[in-house]
Amino acid sequence: MRVDVLTIFPDMFPGPLGGGVVGRALEQGLLTVVAHDLRDYTDDRHRQVDDIPFGGGPGMVFKPEPLVRAVRAFRAEDPAARVILLSPQGRRFDQSVARELANESHLVLICGRYQGVDERAREEIGEELSIGDYVLSGGELAAMVVVETVARLVPGTLGSHESLSEETFTDRGFEPPLYTRPASFEGREVPEVLRSGHHAAIERWRREQSEERMRRRRPDMVRDGATAGGI
């Protein structure tokens, strides 16, 4: 999978994406992340990407020309590229959206800053994603969240010792409680069933714990039927 990120802070990348599972995928070439400087798509001496808002108001707005020029260049190079603006007003990003995006071969993630992006550039981009109901100062951290979440769903990214099958937001509910050695820690014991070697009983216990955890912690998700097929 290839991910192009359009930003006025390309030096922020790969940042935290350079470590762990995603860092390994980058090294192995399973994933390519390229950060592009929006200023490279300006055509004035000052490489200006923003301007004051029509109608007044605080802050600056990303001008349409550099953004639209960049988007058209990405689409001309790869008509299959899925171009997405990170925006607090966008469709809510969750594990099911991540699974959808993991099927794409090419994402272009556009990071806003300041007050936001000229409406005509938003129309040209067409798709917006929000990572949650709060406002960040820029789209870069949001883009990293999307890349990190999607990348670990790309086949081959996780090692053979890592597994998605019991993870939270799969079709089993939340991940069941995890224990490692020692079997007894400060008087707290690992549940007997996990030490029994009885695979069917362990499987049953894990499934019950998964469902119970989701019911207790996120009743809204149970109500919405999230356990049926994962969200």
Ligand X SMILES: C[S@@+](CC[C@H](N)C(=O)[O-])C[C@H]1O[C@@H](n2cnc3c(N)ncnc32)[C@H](O)[C@@H]1O
Binding site for ligand X (CB under 6 A): 86-89, 111-113, 115-117, 130-132, 134-139, 142
Q: Smallest gap, in angstroms, from Cβ of residue 170 to ligand X?
A: 24
Q: Smallest gap, in angstroms, from Cβ of residue 93 to ligand X?
A: 8
Cβ-based neighbour number of residue 211 at 10 Å: 16
Contact (Cβ atoms closer than 8 angstroms) between residue 4 and residue 34: yes
Distance CA 38, CA 47 (A): 9
Q: Smallest gap, in angstroms, from Cβ of residue 118 to ligand X?
A: 11
* Rg of the chain taking only CA atoms, in angstroms: 22
Residue placing its CB nearer to ligand X in the complex, 80 or 135:
135
Nearest CA among 84, 87, 130 for reference residue 104: 84
Residue placing its CB nearer to ligand X in the complex, 22 or 61:
61
Residue 135's φ and ψ, nearest 5 degrees, are: -115, 120
Q: Smallest gap, in angstroms, from Cβ of residue 152 to ligand X?
A: 19
Residue placing its CB nearer to ligand X in the complex, 31 or 61:
61
- Pinpoint the alpha helices (H) of 84-198: 95-102, 119-125, 140-151
Residue placing its CB nearer to ligand X in the complex, 17 or 131:
131
Nearest CA among 153, 167, 141 for reference residue 21: 153
Q: Smallest gap, in angstroms, from Cβ of residue 191 to ligand X?
A: 39
Residue placing its CB nearer to ligand X in the complex, 144 or 214:
144
162: helix, strand or coil? coil
In the structure encoding, which two tokens stand for residue 188, read together? 């707290």
Phi-psi group of 148: left, alpha or beta (phi > 0 → left; psi -120 to 50 → alpha; rest → beta): alpha
Q: Smallest gap, in angstroms, from Cβ of residue 14 to ligand X?
A: 19
Residue placing its CB nearer to ligand X in the complex, 117 or 214:
117
Residue placing its CB nearer to ligand X in the complex, 23 or 53:
53
Nearest CA among 127, 73, 72 for reference residue 104: 127
Distance CA 156, CA 120 (A): 39
Q: Smallest gap, in angstroms, from Cβ of residue 78 to ligand X?
A: 22
